[in-house]
Structure 1
Amino acid sequence: MIALLSDLRVRVGACVLAMGVLGGLAAVTSAKPPTPQADGSEEATRTVVNRTALACPVPGAGAKTQSSVSAVAPVLPDGTPTAEGTEQPLSMSPLDPTSNPVGSVLARGRIASTAPTSKLLPLTVRGTGPLAAGTVATSTTSAPEGVNRGMASVPCQVPGSNFWFVGASGAPGRRDVLVLTNLDSVNAEVNVTLYGADGQLDTPNARGVVVPARGTSEIYLGQIARGQRDLALHVESTGGRVAPAVRDNATTGKVPAGIDWLNLSAPPASKVVVPAMAPGGGVRILTIANPTDLQATATLTVNGPNGPFKPAGLSTVQVPAGSVKVVRLEKVLLGNASAVTVNSDQPVTAAVRMTDSSVREFATMGATEPLRGPAYLVLPAHAQPAVLQVTAPGETAGVRFELRDGANKVLQARKLDVVGGATNLITFKAQARPTYLMVEQLRGDIVAGVTLMPAAKPKDDDVPQVAAWPLTTSLVFRAQLGAQSDVAAALR
Structure 2
Amino acid sequence: MTRLLSDARVRLGACVLALAVVAGVGAVTNAKAPLTRAEGVEEPTRAVVNRTALSCPVPGAGVKMQNFVNAVSPALPDDTPTAEGDETPLAIRPLAATSNPVGSVLVRGKIASTAVTAKLDPLSVQGTGPLAAGTVATSTTTSTEGVNRGIASVPCQVPGSDFWFVGASAAPGRRDVLVLTNLDSVNAEVNVTLYGGSGKLDAPNARGIVVPARGTAEMFLGQVAPGQRDLALHVESTGGRVAPAVRDNVTNGKTPAGVDWLHVSAAPAEKVVVPALAPGGGVRILTLVNPTDLQATAALTVNGPNGPFKPAGLSTLQIPAGSVKVVRLDKALHGDPAAVTITSDQPITASTRMTDSTVTEFATMGATEPLRGPAYLVLPPHTQPVVLLATAPDQTAGVRFELRDAANKVIQTRTLDVIAGATNLITFKPQAKPTYLMVEQLRGDLHAGVTLTPPAKPAEDAVPQVAAWPLTTSLVFRAQLGAQPDLRAALK
- How high is the TM-score relative to the length of structure 1? 0.91
**Are positions 1:209 and 2:180 aligned together?**
no
Check the 8 A contact 1:34/1:45 in 2, yes or no: no
Deviation at 1:8, TM superposition (A): 8.3
Deviations 1:340-377 (A, max 9, x none): 00000000000000100001100000000100110000
CA distance in 1, matches of 2:477, 2:411: 27
Q: Which amino acid in structure 1 is aligned with residue 441 of structure 2?
A: Q
- State the Cα distance separating 1:464 from its structure 2 match: 2.1
Residue among 7, 10, 16 paired with 1:4 = 10
Deviation of 1:454 (Å): 1.1
DSSP-derived class of the 1:297 partner = strand
Distance change in 2, residues 1:8/1:442 (3 Å)? farther
- Per-residue deviation at 1:82? 1.1
Could you tell me how far 1:475 is from its partner in structure 2?
1.5
Q: Given residue 156 of structure 1, which amino acid in structure 2 is its aligned partner?
A: C
Shift of 1:449: 0.3
Q: Secondary structure at the match of 1:131?
A: helix
Match in the other structure for 1:465: 465
Correspondence for 1:326: 326
Deviation at 1:37, TM superposition (A): 6.9
* Structure 2 residue aligned with 1:359: 359
Equivalents in 2 of 1:336, 1:3: separation in Å? 82
Look up the match of 1:125.
Answer: 125
The residue that corresponds to 1:29 in the other structure is none
Query: Aligned pair 1:402/2:397, yes or no?
Result: no
Q: Residues of 2 paired with 1:330 and 1:128: CA distance?
A: 45
The 2-side partners of 1:226 and 1:202 are apart by 12
Q: Distance in 1 between matches of 2:99 and 2:319?
A: 48
Partners of 2:11 and 2:329 lie apart in 1 by 73
CA contact (8 A) 1:45 1:482 kept: no
Q: CA, structure 1 residues 443+64, in 2 after alignment: closer, same or farther (shift >3 Å)?
A: same
Q: Tell me, yes or no, if structure 1 residue 96 matches structure 2 residue 85.
A: no
Shift of 1:45: 7.1
Work out whether residues 372 and 477 of structure 2, in 8 Å CA contact, stay in contact via their aligned partners in 1.
Answer: no
1:316 aligns with 2:309: no
> In 1, Cα distance between the equivalents of 2:73 and 2:268?
31
Question: How far is 1:465 from its partner?
Answer: 1.2
Residues 37 and 46 (structure 1 numbering): CA distance in 2 closer, same or farther, change over 3 Å? Answer: closer
- Residue of structure 2 equivalent to 1:65: 65
- 1:411-430 mapped onto 2 (5 Å cutoff): 411-430=411-430
Kindly report which structure 2 residues correspond to 1:11-90, keeping only aligned pairs within 5 A, or say none. 34-35=34-35, 46-90=46-90
Determine the structure 2 residue equivalent to 1:386.
386
Query: Per-residue displacement from partner, 1:6-30 (whole Å, max 9, x unpaired)?
Result: 968736969xx9xxxxxxxxxxxxx
Quote the residue 1:243 is aligned against.
243
Instruction: Kindly report which structure 2 residues correspond to 1:92-491, keeping only aligned pairs within 5 A, or say none.
Output: 92-477=92-477, 479-481=480-482
C-alpha separation in 2, matches of 1:285 and 1:56: 26
Question: Any conservation in 2 of the 1:301–1:309 contact (CA below 8 Å)?
Answer: yes
Q: Are the aligned partners of 1:33 and 1:482 in contact in 2 as well (CA < 8 Å)?
A: no
Shift of residue 436, structure 1, vs aligned partner: 0.3
Cα distance in 1 for partners of 2:148, 2:13 equals 74
The answer to whether the Cα contact below 8 Å between 2:66 and 2:141 also exists between their aligned partners in 1 is yes
SS in 1 for 2:222: helix
Q: Which amino acid aligns with 1:48?
A: V
Distance of 2:120 and 2:445 partners within structure 1: 39
Q: Distance in 2 between matches of 1:480 and 1:265?
A: 21
Query: What is the Cα deviation at residue 326 of structure 1?
Result: 0.4
Q: Which amino acid aligns with 1:52?
A: T
Question: How far, CA to CA, are the matches of 1:192 and 1:115 in structure 2?
Answer: 35
Residue-by-residue CA offset, 1:377-408 (whole Å, 9 max, x unaligned): 00001111001000001100100000000001
Conservation of the 8 A alpha-carbon contact between 2:87 and 2:131: yes
Question: Match for 2:482: what amino acid?
Answer: L
AA in 1 matched with 2:174: R
**What is the rounded CA distance, in whole Å, between the counterparts of 2:483 and 2:251 in structure 1?**
52
Query: Structure 2 counterpart of 1:411, which letter?
Result: I
Q: Which runs of 4+ in 1 moved over 6 A?
A: 11-14, 482-485
CA deviation profile, 1:36-75 (whole Å, cap 9, x unmatched): 5789xxxx97531110000000001101111000000000
Q: Determine helix, strand or coil for the equivalent of 1:177.
A: strand
Q: In 2, Cα distance between the equivalents of 1:330 and 1:423?
A: 16
* Aligned-residue offset at 1:235: 0.3
1:2 CA drift (Å): 10
Pick closer, same or farther for the CA change 1:45–1:421 going to 2, 3 Å.
closer
How much has 1:178 moved relative to structure 2? 0.2
1:392 to 1:38, Cα distance in 2 relative to 1, 3 A: closer
Rounded Cα–Cα distance in structure 1 between residues aligned with 2:38 and 2:370: 23
What is the CA–CA distance in structure 1 between the aligned matches of 2:185 and 2:144, rounded to whole Å?
A: 37
CA distance in 1, matches of 2:204, 2:45: 41
Q: For residue 381 of structure 1, what is the amino acid of its counterpart? A: P
CA contact (8 A) 2:46 2:476 kept: no
Q: Which runs of 5+ in 2 are unaligned?
A: 1-6, 24-31, 487-492
Q: How far is the alpha carbon of 1:461 from its aligned partner?
A: 4.2
Q: CA deviation at 1:33?
A: 8.4
Q: 1:482 to 1:352 in 2, by over 3 A?
A: closer
Contact kept in structure 2, 1:382 and 1:465, CA below 8 Å: no
The equivalent residue for 1:28 is none
Classify 1:253/1:36 alpha carbon distance in 2 versus 1 (closer, same or farther; 3 Å): closer
Q: Which one-letter code corresponds to 2:440 in the other structure?
A: E
| 8 A Cα contact 1:190 1:237, kept in partner | yes
Q: Which moved more, 1:419-428 or 1:452-461?
A: 452-461
Question: How many pairs are equivalent?
Answer: 469
Tell me, in whole angstroms, the C-alpha distance in 2 between the residues paired with 1:252 and 1:388: 30
**Separation in structure 2 between the aligned mates of residue 58 and residue 38 of structure 1, nearest angstrom:** 41
Structure 1 CA distance for aligned equivalents of residues 435 and 225 of structure 2? 39
Cα distance per residue 1:141-180 (max 9 Å; x no partner): 0110001111000000000000000000011100000000
Tell me, in whole angstroms, the C-alpha distance in 1 between the residues paired with 2:224 and 2:17.
58
The Cα offsets for residues 409-454 of structure 1, whole Å up to 9 and x where unpaired, read as 1110000000000000000001111100000000001000000001
| CA distances 1:248-284 after superposition (whole Å, capped 9, x unpaired) | 0000001110000001100000000000000011000
Structure-2 separation of matches of 1:49 and 1:109: 16
Instruction: Output the CA distance in 1 between the equivalents of 2:209 and 2:15.
Output: 50
SS of 1:372's equivalent?
coil
Change in 2 beyond 3 A, CA 1:100/1:374: same
Quote the offset at 1:81 in angstroms.
1.6
